[in-house]
Chains A and B, each alone.
Chain A
Amino acid sequence: MRALLCLLMVLWTTQASAQTWRELEVVLLPGAFYQPLGDRLFREDPPQDLSESALLEHFQTQLAQYDLVKPQAIHTLTDTLSVDLRRMLTLAQERFDMGLSAWKALNPQDAVTHFERARELHREAFSDLLAPHLLAEVELYRGLALLDLGEQGLAHFAFAQSLFYAPEQRFQAGYYESSVEERLQAAALELQRITDVLSIRFSGERLSALGKALKRDYILVHARLQQKNETLLQVGLFDVRRASFAFRVQSKTPEAIPKELDYALSAWHTCALEVSRALVRKRESAPWSIELGYAHHVWLHHRPTRNFLQGPGVVLGVNHRFNSNLEFWAAYRQRVTLMDSNTDLLDVFTSGHLSTGLGLMIGPEVLRLSLRLGLELALSHADITATTDVDCKFFGPSHPRCGTTFQANNPAVWFGLEVGLRLRYMPVRSWYVSFDIGMNSYLLSQSLSSELNFPLHASIKLGIPF
């Protein structure tokens, strides 16, 4: 028994802690390695850069050590990409294929058009961040098609873009014409001018848009830049909600990065953890409220008359909210029941209805629905006389021709249950509007409730919390 209790306690605590703190989901994007290439751009057998995947794995392991931090490599999120993004990517690929076909068919002009559209679609699909090699391929072929058109300058920039997105690209020596190789070589020189590689490769605007599209709060990015004999490693954690880097670290000795990253992560983790919204005390309006409004009612059970009896009225209400789901309410309705079209009710009568009870509420503060149950005591302020006998109406109840009339002397008393639905719209904290509909079922005073019962009432009220 004790063991079972302990187990339950552990489960409860685990569950509570999971609900208490908000998990921090960090997306890891593929990095880039920029290095002076020289003649290394053309290799018979391009070497595989294994350090990139090792780096990603390392960052993932390092992040996972922190409580409630959930690192996610981008390739694991492919399925979570929105339909629009995936569709955009497919369209971009189709455009690229069309461009490739046009280029192979010696139609460089059409090819350039298709490649440019493919480039735009890739940007919309965030390929520059998620799959830069795809965009690099588009830019490479765009550059080749531009060269065919004699657009040397534009081709140069296209090659530079291609190498910027995928600096690890290598080309088989002799595969392209020497003029193409020269252009590629010249474009590679452009990359050597980059110093702050992280800011250029991962702009805040693009990261922010991607974070929103992926619905993630943090993105970890990194890039390497080889300068002479040293390799500069830059790592940054982008905060999507703040649209800026939470921290950036860099080191020329890659071995020192884990330590520096650990310091930065530790500091960030301390401040980034948030209590989940469920535990944050909601700002609610004042517990009391008073309201006044117009009410209309219809007696659904009206034995002495052939037509429904109905009439207008005013309602004054007071409410007290115990918590976000339970309230106490009280209302006073002053009603006038009008004569029906047949004048079966011989005269209008007024009545006062005092009701009180509890309400169960659901919904946010701004638009709240409540089910109300309560009791009502009602008193008429005048005699109620009704008949369907035309002679009673014309000659009077005491006339010999008059048959039967229903008469309830003042004050007629009703007592019974009330059930209602209420929709409250509170655009600001200082006032609200409520729409109520309800019905009474009178139990006491059998002689009266069997004649006039089940008033259905609806009201619109303006209320002020205090």
Chain B
Amino acid sequence: MTTLRKSVSVSVFTKSFLGAGLVWLGGLSGCDNLNERFTGLWLIADENEAAPPWLGEGVILALGHYGPDLTGVVHFRDLNGLRLSTCACSFFESSRVDADIGRLSGYSKGCNPDDMVIWQLSIDDEEEPAYLQASVTLASSPQARTTFRLIRSQEFVATEWRACTP
């Protein structure tokens, strides 16, 4: 649909009716909405897998995806899922979202507020539950790079996960 939106640049009438028609037909046919495919609450897939300390040992992503835009909160947790006293959360800032190919990149602060963490995520939502392949780099030390897998535990992000008061 995004491709169509880009290519259709005829008159405003044609554009509006075509767009309306496609949205309507899309809604009727129950197509998955690519514009929201990253939305959800994402947890580390393997309970035994630990993230590096600069991300806390456990990490939870609460993402909101709206078309070309994405925002969210990175929650730092220990392996038991408990909130860390040293670092609680950070806002996720997206820099590029390619919903069509299922990739996005962004950044956030690390567990240490002075650290900048660069995120590269690719989604596989063919399977149930969907998962994100994360490749995370510490900006100040490019060698400090880790990869892990996140699975979507909820498609709707509850208000408590959207809140972040570091």
Of all chain A residues, the one with the shortest Cβ separation from B62 is A394
Contact of A342 among B12, B15, B67, B72 (CB under 8 A): B67
Contact of A395 with B162 in the complex, beta carbons under 8 Å: yes
**CB atoms of B19 and A307 under 8 A apart:** yes
Contacts of B19 in A (CB 8 A): 298, 307-308, 310
Is B71 among interface residues, defined by CB-CB distance under 8 A? Answer: yes
Minimum CB–CB distance for A169 against chain B, Å: 73
A401 within 8 A of partner (CB): yes
Assess whether B35 is interfacial by the CB under 8 Å rule.
yes
Bound Cα distance A401, B23 (Å): 30
- Is B70 among interface residues, defined by CB-CB distance under 8 A? yes
A391 to B72, CA, bound (A): 8
Q: Which residues of A contact B15 (CB under 8 A)?
A: 308
Question: Is the CB–CB distance between A300 and B35 below 8 Å?
Answer: no
Q: Please state if B66 and A390 are interface contacts (CB–CB under 8 Å).
A: yes
- Determine the chain B residues whose CB is within 8 A of the CB of A300 once the complex forms: 12, 16
Partner of A338, one of B1, B16, B23, B157: B23
User: Is A424 on the interface with B (CB-CB < 8 A)?
Assistant: no
Contact between B16 and A391 (Cβ–Cβ < 8 Å)? no
Q: CB of B20 within 8 A of chain A? A: yes
Is residue A312 within 8 Å, beta carbon to beta carbon, of the partner chain?
yes
Q: Select one of B12, B67, B91 contacting A401, CB under 8 A.
A: B91
Q: A117 within 8 Å of B by Cβ?
A: no
A226 CB-CB contact with B under 8 Å = no
A300 to B13: give the CA distance in the assembly, Å: 8
Report Cα–Cα, A249/B72, bound state, in Å: 104
Question: Known pairs A341-B1, A388-B69, A394-B64. 6 more at Cβ < 8 A?
Answer: A296-B20, A310-B20, A342-B68, A342-B69, A343-B67, A456-B16
Closest 3 CB pairs of A and B: A342-B67, A394-B64, A390-B69
Instruction: Tell me which residues from 380 to 394 in chain A have a Cβ below 8 Å from any Cβ of chain B.
Output: 388, 390-391, 393-394
If A307-B19, A308-B20 touch, whether A341 touches B64 (CB-CB below 8 Å) is no
Q: Which of A298, A312, A342, A396 contacts B66 (CB 8 A)?
A: A342
Please indicate the chain A residues that have their CB under 8 angstroms from the CB of B17 in the complex.
298, 456, 458
Q: Which of A324-373 contact B (CB under 8 A)?
A: 338, 341-344
Chain B residues within 8 Å of A456, by CB: 13, 16-17
The CA of A391 and the CA of B91, in the complex, are separated in Å by 10
28 A-B pairs whose Cβ atoms sit less than 8 Å apart in the complex: A298-B16, A298-B17, A306-B67, A307-B5, A307-B19, A308-B19, A310-B23, A312-B24, A341-B23, A341-B33, A341-B35, A343-B35, A343-B36, A344-B66, A388-B69, A390-B64, A390-B66, A390-B70, A390-B71, A393-B69, A394-B64, A394-B72, A395-B71, A396-B162, A401-B71, A401-B91, A456-B16, A456-B17
B64 to A308, Cβ gap below 8 A? no
Residues of the A chain whose Cβ atoms lie less than 8 Å from the Cβ of B68: 342
Residues of A in contact, count (CB < 8 Å): 23
CA distance A394 to B36 in the complex (A): 12
Q: Is the CB of A298 within 8 A of B20?
A: yes
Q: Which residues of B contact A (CB under 8 A)?
A: 1, 5, 12-13, 15-17, 19-20, 23-24, 27, 33, 35-36, 64, 66-72, 91, 157, 162
Kindly state the separation between the CA atoms of A390 and B17 in the bound complex, as whole angstroms.
26
CB distance from B45 to the nearest CB of A (A): 24
Residues of B within 8 A of A306 (CB): 67
Min Cβ gap B72→A in Å is 7
Nearest chain A CB to B14 CB, angstrom units: 11
CA A401 – CA B17 in complex, angstroms? 35
Partner of A394, one of B12, B33, B162: B162
In the complex, what residue of chain B is closest to A390 when comparing beta carbons? B69
Q: Is the CB of B162 within 8 A of A341?
A: no
**Residues of B contacting A342 with CB < 8 Å?**
35, 66-69
**Distance in Å: Cβ of B66 to nearest Cβ of chain A:** 5
Please name all residues of chain B whose beta carbon is closer than 8 Å to the beta carbon of A393 when the two chains form the complex.
64, 66, 69, 71
A308 → chain B, closest Cβ, in Å? Answer: 5
Write the nearest CB–CB distance from A119 to chain B, whole angstroms.
61
In Å, the complex CA distance between A401 and B89 comes to 15
Residues on the A chain within 8 Å of B72, using CB: 394
Give the chain A neighbours of B12 by CB distance below 8 A: 300
Smallest Cβ distance from B8 to chain A, in angstroms? 11
- Bound-state Cα–Cα, A307 to B20, Å: 10
Evaluate contact between B16 and A341: CB separation under 8 angstroms: no
- A401 to B24: give the CA distance in the assembly, Å: 33
Determine whether the beta carbon of B71 is less than 8 Å from that of A391.
yes
The answer for the CA separation of A194 and B15 in the assembled complex, in Å, is: 79
CB of A310 within 8 A of CB of B91, answer no
- From the candidates A308, A390, A394, A401, name the one contacting B16 in the complex (CB within 8 A): A308
CA distance A391 to B73 in the complex (A): 11
Tell me, rounded to whole Å, the shortest Cβ–Cβ distance linking A236 to chain B.
Answer: 63
Nearest B residue (CB) for A343: B66
Cα distance, A341 to B37, chains bound together (Å)? 12
Q: Tell me how far the C-beta of B154 lies from the nearest C-beta in chain A, rounded to whole angstroms.
A: 14
- Shortest CB-to-CB span from A261 to chain B, Å, is 68
Chain B residues closer than 8 Å to A310, beta-carbon distance: 16, 19-20, 23-24
| A390 contacts across to B, CB distance below 8 A | 64, 66, 69-71
Quick one: which of A306, A308, A388 has the most chain B CB within 10 A?
A: A308
CA of A40 to CA of B157, assembled, Å: 117
Q: Which residue of A lies closest to B17 (CB)?
A: A298
Are B71 and A394 in contact (CB-based, < 8 A)? yes
